[in-house]
Amino acid sequence: MSSEFTTDQREREASGSHPYGRYLEEFEVGAVYKHWPAKTVTESDDHLFCLITMNHHPLHLNDVYAAASQQRRNVVVGPLVYSLALGMSVSDVSGKAIANLSTEALSHPAPVFHGDTLFVETEVLEKRESQTKPDRGTVKVHTRVFNQDGTLVAEFRRLVLVPRRDPGTAA
């Protein structure tokens, strides 16, 4: 193993790698992060997620059943859409998180179908320093998921506990 090898995140970022997540000081209320890359949801993605989570609803797994439904085709299971959006936001929002404290107001205003491509963005709603622990604070964000046509297909808010870069100064 090389003597220059390090697993420390700060040291690896100092080498020029893409920063992963943000410290409390780096969040600005009103900022919108447009996450990349986008993700095309395949039939295989949907079926595997349904099977792993034991959701065997035929709207997601059965073409004949889905053809007779209101949507006339298979609908991607909602928790997969949420999981993808959350995962796509990690490198910009919660990559340095101590914890995701809560998720609220999850909604799916439009369906996602096999072959749809999801584009995700997150807006910073508020930022607060901890009153009891100077090394951290919370960030409340609103994440929105759009399909390739620009239709809002899911959204949610969450509260993330993140470390401060420098606990000795005000954010």
User: Digits of tens for pLDDT over the chain (171 positions)?
Assistant: 445 766 776 776 677 666 788 999 999 999 999 998 899 999 999 999 999 999 999 999 999 999 999 999 999 999 999 999 999 999 999 999 999 999 999 999 999 999 999 999 999 999 999 999 999 999 999 999 999 999 999 999 999 999 998 876 654
- Give the β-pairing of 136-146 and 32-34: unpaired
Query: 132 has which bridge partners?
Result: none
Residue 154's φ and ψ, nearest 5 degrees, are -165, 155
pLDDT for the residue 17: 63
Q: Are 171 and 124 a contacting pair, CB within 8 Å?
A: no
DSSP 75: B
Give exposure, 47-74, as e/b (b: 16+ Cβ within 10 Å): eebbeeeeeeeebbbeeeebeeeeeeeb
CATH superfamily of 22-39+82-163: Hotdog Thioesterase (3.10.129.10)
Question: What's this model's pTM, rounded to 2 decimal places?
Answer: 0.87
pLDDT for the residue 1: 44
